[in-house]
Structure 1
Amino acid sequence: MDAVRMLLESQPLLTLFVTVALGYVVGEISVKGVALGSGAVLFVGLAIGGFAPKSAPPALLGTLGLLLFLYGIGIQYGDQFFKGLTSADGLKANIAAALGVIASGLLAIAFVPLFGVKLDESLGLFAGSGTSTASLQAAMAAMKSDGATVGYSVAYPFGVAGPILFLYVLSALLKPHIERPPPKLIETAEIALRNPEFIGSRLADVKTRMPAGIAIAAVRREHHNRPPTDDLVLQADDVLLATATDPAALQRAISLFGELQPGRMTSHREDLDYGRVFASSKLVVGRMLRDIRFPEGVVCTIAHVRRGDADLMPNQDLILEFGDRVGLLANRAHMKPLRAFFGDSIKGTAELSFISIGVGAALGLLAGAIPLPIPGVGKLALGLAALLLVALVLGRVRRVGPFVWTMPLSANLVLRNFGLTIFLAQVGIASGPKFFATIGVAGLSFLLYGVAIALALLIVTAIFCLWVFRLPFDMTVGILSGATGNPAILAFANRVAPTDAPDVGYAMIFPSMTVVKILFVQIAAVLASG
């Protein structure tokens, strides 16, 4: 064993990746549907750090990992986050979650005078109960100690399992009636124009009177399919190729325009053919559909956009991202230049600009280094919380000149999960010796403190969501997932409420609550030291 210890202590990078590998093996172990996931890397790191005390990699490596995680979160959820701040439900959701986070934080602080818990350990309990690695880093930096890691590691398991159990009990008590929505797939209908109200009208004027969620992909006249240009004047018996993700919307369109006549258009491709391309060119990525200018002489209609596992309607405000699969209707002779125009490379699913990442991260770090005056607290630098805020703004803006801030979802997930893993491994290894020195003395009491903090967060948030603001149950479980933070909780919430609302609630809440948790830790540390 001494030889193994010497090897680990002499090769810190080897130790780091052994921790990562073993951590994910442990993280996949499921007990009644609950698994620690990437959080298990921290516990393996603590064990290895306790066994080989001098094996920790440099702290800067862990900070870099957390930076990648927070930057990826901001870039992905920027749009949903700002929409949430401007909507009535989004404001209610953020207020409810903030009250829950603050209540749990105040309870954690109360343990210091009540039970003699050290402040850094109490802040670690707060971070672990909310599974917030960013708060853990903030506590370690503010307190200039690794005591927060002890509290974090004890509270973290219940921070994952507790909310899942809470959601299960809440669902069993309330018994909400939630229907699983049908998958969002593009459906089509060929509609012969019979309604005299639209005969002789320009297609641009007709579009303003169509049912919501309907798009016209092509028009057939005199046995020829043609693109749906805005200046096209509709005639009797024109056949409209309507598309929608909602079958009910298609039925309304059929009733409005005329009658269904399937097979008139899709079987004739001599004028317009269908092709699917990957969006991987900077000529289209980061641009709204209305701003895309096709090559000279090329006439094309965007029929739909598939992003991840969902079909998106080709609204003019839709912004293309790297890796989007775009369905096109165009003449076969134009397909080759269109593929070159869009890029059509599968590499787009993993494409990201390291220039944009470098500039964006540098702006975030610069903003985090600026001390800001806070009444009653003094000057406080936001640190990595500012980086998250900058990333949220960039994720909302998506593109500025040559800088495309967005990333494909697959690349984003890889980047931020790798960063989070590196952070947890480095922090675990570095904190192992102190963890084992403390846990033997205060292990059970710390666990009970962590349970109390997590329950305070869940109960306060749930009360305000369900009974004060009367938000829907499916959105509430997403808000609870975002307030507690772990993706495993969101995955369980999606099983409890199989709609889109949990994902929307999570996206509106998770970034802002991450910032709230970081600021709470920093302010508590400043006030305590003052």
Structure 2
Amino acid sequence: MDTLRALLETQPLFTLFLTIGLGYVVGEFSIKGVSLGSGAVLFVGLVIGGFAPKSSPPALLGTLGLLLFLYGIGIQYGAQFFKGLTSADGLRANAAAALGVVGAGFVSLALVPMFGVKLDESLGMFAGSGTSTATLQAIIAATKSDGAAVGYSVAYPFGVAGPILLIYMLSALLKVKVEQPPEKLIETAEIALKNGAFIGLRFSELTARLPAGVAIAAVRREHHNLLPGDDLVLHTDDVLLATSMDPAMLKDAAALVGELQPGRMTSHREDLDYARVFASSRAVVGRSLRDIAFPEGVICSIAHVRRGDADILPSSDLILEFGDRVGLLANRAQMKAIRRFFGDSIKGTAELSFISIGAGAAVGLLIGMIPIPIPGVGKLTLGLAALLLVALYLGKIRRSPPFVWTMPLSANLVLRNFGLTIFLAQVGIASGPKFFATVGATGISFLLCGVAILLALVLITAFFCLWVFKLPFDATVGIISGATGNPAILAFANRVAPTDRPDVGYAMIFPSMTIVKILFAQIAVALVGG
């Protein structure tokens, strides 16, 4: 055992990656569908740190990991975050989650005089109940002690499993039945123009009178398929290739314009052919469809966009992202030039600009150093919370030449999850010795304190969502997931409520509640700690 301890303490990088590997093995174990996932890395780190007290890698390594995690979150969810700050439902959702977070924070502060818990340990339990590693880092920096990591590690299991159990209980108590929405796929229809009211109109006049959600991708006239311009004058028996996410809308369009005549267009590809390309070129990524300038002489129409597992009906303000699969209609002779223009590279969709990451992170870190005076509190710095805010803004604007701020989703997930894993491993190993000493001295009392903080967070949030703001249940479970923070909770919420609202709620809430948690902890240290 002494030989193993000496190996771990003299080879910190080996210890770090051993912790990560073993942590994910432990995280795979599931009890009735509940698993710790990446959170298990922290507990393995605690065990290794307790066994080999001098094995901790440098703290800067953990901070770097957290930086990558926060930057990736901001870039991905920037648009949803700012939308949540302006929409009525988004404001209500953020208000409900903020009340839950602040309520949980006050419960954690009440533990200090009531049970004699140290402030850093109590705030650490607040961070662990909300599974917020960013808050943990802010508390450690503000208190200049590792007691917060001990409280965090004690409360973290309840922060993961507790919300899952409470969401299940809410679903059973309210007897909620959320129907699985239909798969988002674009449907097509070929409609022959028969209605005299449309004959002789320009194409732009026709599209303005079609049902909302119906688009025309091409027109067939005199045995030739062509891409319509706004000034194209419509003739009798023109065949329109209509697209929509709703088959009922296509039937309404057919009844309005003429009659369905399938097979007239799709079986003839000598003039227009269909191709699907990957968006991986800087010429298109980060640009709205209206701003895309095709090469001279190239004429094509974007029929649909597939992002992840969902189809998106193209609109002029739709902004392309790395890895979008774009369905195009164009002449076969121009396909090679079109593919070259879009990039059409799977490899390209996994690449990212380290220039953009470096510039964005540097600006966020610089702003985080600026002291902000708060009356009655003193001067506070936002630290990594500023980096998250900058990343959210960059994720919203997507590009500002010459920088493309967005990242391919696959690269973003790998970067931020690896960063989070490094942070959890480093903090766990560093906190191991004190964790076992504290738990041995306090026994079950710390565990009960963590449960009390978590109950305040989840129940206050759920109460305001469901009974004060009257938000739908599927939106509520997404908001609870964002307020508590752990992706495992969101995964369970998606099983209970299989719509897109849990994901949207999580995206709107998680970044803002991360900032609220960090600011609450910093203010608490400044006021109570002083």
TM-score, normalization by structure 1: 0.99
In structure 2, the residue matched to 1:91 is: 91
Q: Distance in 2 between matches of 1:252 and 1:458?
A: 45
Deviations 1:7-60 (A, max 9, x none): 111110010000000000000100010000000000000000011111100000
How far did residue 231 of structure 1 move? 1.7
- Greater alpha carbon shift after TM alignment, 210-219 vs 48-57: 210-219
Structure 1 residue 528: deviation in Å? 2.0
Mapped to 2, the partners of 1:516 and 1:329 lie a distance apart of 47
SS in 2 for 1:200: coil
CA distance in 2, matches of 1:212, 1:415: 39
Cα distance in 2, alignment partners of residues 366 and 212 from structure 1: 46
Residue 250 (structure 1) shift = 1.9
1:177 Cα deviation (Å)? 3.1
In structure 2, the residue matched to 1:302 is: 302
Correspondence for 1:414: 414
Aligned mates of 2:54, 2:214 — CA distance in 1: 63
The residue aligned with 2:499 is 499
Question: What's the offset of the Cα at 1:160?
Answer: 0.5
Deviation per CA, 1:464-499: give whole Å up to 9, x if none: 101100011110110011000011100111111111
Which residue in 2 is equivalent to 1:22?
A: 22
Distance 1:465 1:355 in 2: 41
Partner in structure 2 of residue 268 of structure 1: 268
CA contact (8 A) 2:119 2:529 kept: no
Look up the match of 1:278.
Answer: 278
Q: 2:498 & 2:286 partners in 1: Cα distance?
A: 30
CA shift, 1:152, in A, is 0.6
Shift of 1:304: 0.8
2:199 alignment partner AA: I
Query: Does 2:520 align with 1:515?
Result: no
The whole-number CA distance in structure 1 between the counterparts of 2:483 and 2:212 is: 33
Q: Which amino acid aligns with 2:272?
A: L
Report deviation, 1:514.
0.5
Secondary structure at the aligned position of 2:296 is classed as coil
Q: Is the 8 A contact 2:298 2:334 kept in 1?
A: yes
The reply on whether 1:375 has 2:375 as its aligned counterpart is: yes
Say if 1:138 and 1:518, in contact at 8 Å, map to a contact too. yes
Say if 1:368 and 1:386, in contact at 8 Å, map to a contact too.
Answer: yes
Is 2:372 aligned against 1:344? no
CA contact (8 A) 1:124 1:152 kept: yes
Map residues 181-192 of structure 1 onto 2, 5 A cutoff.
181-192=181-192
Deviation at 1:287, TM superposition (A): 0.5
Cα distance per residue 1:50-100 (max 9 Å; x no partner): 111111000000000000000000000000111111100000000000000
Cα shift at 1:529: 3.0
Residue identity opposite 2:347 in structure 1: K
Q: Distance in 2 between matches of 1:349 and 1:334?
A: 23
Amino acid at match of 1:433: P
CA offset digits 1:298-348 (Å, max 9, x no partner):
110011111111111111111111111111100000000001111111113
Q: Distance in 1 between matches of 2:171 and 2:57?
A: 44
Q: CA deviation at 1:349?
A: 2.5
Q: Which residue of 1 is the match for residue 437 of structure 2?
A: 437
What CA distance in whole angstroms lies between the structure 2 residues aligned with 1:129 and 1:333? Answer: 60
Q: Is the CA contact (8 Å cut-off) linking 1:228 and 1:301 kept in structure 2? A: no
Query: Does residue 476 of structure 1 match 2:480?
Result: no
Equivalent residue pairs, number: 530
Matched, 1:326 2:349: no
**CA–CA distance in structure 2, aligned partners of residues 201 and 513 of structure 1:** 52
Q: Quick one: which amino acid aligns to residue 220 of structure 1?
A: R
Question: In structure 1, how many angstroms separate the alpha carbons of the residues matched to 2:484 and 2:407?
Answer: 25
C-alpha distance after superposition, 1:137-168 (max 9, x if no partner): 11111110000111111110111110000010
In 2, are the aligned partners of 1:191 and 1:262 still within 8 Å (CA)? yes
Look up the SS of the partner of 1:122 in the other structure: helix
Secondary structure of the structure 1 residue equivalent to 2:218: strand
How far 1:256 sits from its partner (Å)? 2.1
1:378-423 alpha-carbon deviations (Å, 9 max, x no partner): 1110000010000000000000011000011111100000000000
Shift of 1:171: 0.4
Unpaired stretches in structure 2, ≥5 consecutive residues? none
- The residue aligned with 2:119 is 119
Letter in 2 for 1:369: M
Shift of residue 224, structure 1, vs aligned partner: 0.7
Q: Counterpart of 1:274 in 2: which secondary structure?
A: strand
Residue identity matched to 2:356:
S
> How far is the alpha carbon of 1:249 from its aligned partner?
2.2
TM superposition shift of 1:205? 2.2
TM-score by length of 2: 0.99
